[in-house]
Structures are given as C-alpha cells and as structure tokens.
C-alpha cells in the first residue's frame, strides 16, 4: 500500500518494492494520480494511486559495502517541493537503517 501525501495542491506517493536484479529495496516517489472513478462508491478505496516514479532510492541489502543511491527519472523536468523531497529522503533513510539492522542480525546469526 503506498504512502500518500498532499502538498501545494498536488498529491505524491511513495511505494516500496524489492528489485531482485539489484538485490536491493527500492523506495519510489511519484506524483499520485486520481483513482478510477469506479472506486468512488467504495469508502475504503484510495483516492489516489502512484504514478510513474521520478525518484527512486535504491538500498542494497545483500552487500553492506554497496552504498544506497538515488536514481532520477525525469524526462519532463519535475519540480519537487522541498517538503516532499525531505519526506522522501526520510523514508529512504528509514529503509537504509532497516536494511543495515537486518544485515547485521543476519550476519550475526551465521557465526
């Protein structure tokens, strides 16, 4: 389930997924798009869904020597408000911390 935030009249979404080819968690930021009108009758349905990602935090979790990175995908030149960028980077930092703790716990259990 994506995390949503409204700011300055726009909606933004962050979602997480695991990228097997990279052995890394990805934290994606996108501008959220309105949910289908057919969902309007369901009070539990989300009002917005993630759109195409334009920032992706990539957090390797198999090799602690690999540094987390942020990839930018913005052919349309997205302008991202500071508060949204800060929110996104806090979520990336939280994921980095979780991955590092999990790696340390996993490495400690192998000895």
Q: Is the pTM of this model over 0.75?
A: yes
Strand arrangement of the beta sheet that strand 24-31 belongs to = 3-7, 10-19, 24-31, 53-60, 69-72
pLDDT above 70 (res 111) = no
Residue 106 phi, psi (nearest 5): -70, -40
pLDDT of residue 107: 62
> Mind listing the pLDDT tens digit for each residue in 28-86?
999 999 888 888 888 888 889 999 999 999 999 888 789 999 999 877 777 899 999 99
For residue 98, the tally of other CB atoms under 10 A from its CB is: 13
Gap between the Cα atoms of 88 and 66, Å rounded: 21
pLDDT above 90 (res 26) = yes
> Mind listing the pLDDT tens digit for each residue in 10-23?
999 999 999 998 89
> Which residue has tokens 């990539």?
58
pLDDT above 60 (res 109) = no
Question: Which stretches of 1-111 are assigned E, i.e. beta strand?
Answer: 3-7, 10-19, 24-31, 33-34, 48-49, 53-60, 69-72
Reduce the DSSP state of residue 3 to 3 states and report it: strand
Gap between the Cα atoms of 77 and 96, Å rounded: 27
């Amino acid at each position: 389930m994506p995390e949503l935030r409204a700011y300055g009249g726009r909606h933004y979404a962050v979602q997480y997924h695991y990228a097997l080819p990279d052995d890394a968690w990805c934290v994606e930021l996108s501008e959220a798009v309105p949910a289908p009108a057919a969902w309007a009758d369901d009070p539990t349905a989300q009002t917005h869904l993630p759109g195409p990602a334009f920032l992706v935090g990539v957090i390797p979790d198999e090799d602690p020597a690999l540094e987390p990175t942020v990839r930018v995908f913005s052919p349309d030149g997205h302008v991202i408000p500071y508060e949204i960028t800060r929110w996104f980077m806090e979520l990336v930092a939280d994921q980095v911390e979780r991955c590092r703790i999990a790696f340390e716990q996993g490495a400690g259990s192998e000895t």
